[in-house]
Amino acid sequence: MALIVCPDCGKQVSEQAASCPSCGHPLRGGATLIEQTAKNWKKVQAVGIVLMLLAPVSMLVIAYTSSADVFLAVVPLLVLGVVVHLLGRFGAWWHHG
Ligand SMILES: [Zn+2]
């Protein structure tokens, strides 16, 4: 019976265990998958933050370079950023429990 290291608390756990008896972290091959999923959701959160940061920057650029309606271009970008970021947070919460 082989032992694996719990990715959450670092203790040695039997690879037969469905979850870590010490901290309850789900194991049996699913551990790596969950870590990977969490990373993917963090990427989604980061994209949301980038979109939110782009909104004020593009607002300044549009305000100085064209007479187009600034809010028409920026508000959707800002809303999209917030939605994507919240989606990432929700996804991470949903998959992590
Ligand atoms: Zn553990």
Which backbone phi and psi does 5 adopt, to 5 degrees?
A: -95, 130
Query: What is the pLDDT at residue 97?
Result: 58
Q: At what angle do helices 70-96 and 30-65 cross, to 10 degrees?
A: 170
Mean pLDDT of 85-90: 91
pLDDT digits (tens, 9 = 90+) for 28-87: 655 566 667 778 888 999 999 998 898 888 888 888 887 767 777 788 888 999 999 999
Q: Where do the domains of the chain lie?
A: 29-94
- Give kind and range of the element (H or E) at residue 37: helix 30-65
What per-residue confidence (pLDDT) applies to 34?
Answer: 63
Ligand 1 midpoint to CA 37 (Å): 18
CA angle, residues 33, 31, 7, in degrees to nearest 5: 130
Question: What pLDDT is stored for residue 33 in this prediction?
Answer: 61
Q: Residue 56 C-alpha to ligand 1 middle, in angstroms? A: 43
Count Cβ atoms below 10 Å from residue 24 Cβ, excluding itself: 12
- Whole-prediction pTM: 0.53
- Residue list, CB under 5 A from ion ligand 1: 6, 8-9, 20, 22-23, 25
The confidence score (pLDDT) of residue 3 equals 86
Tokens of 96: 């992590």
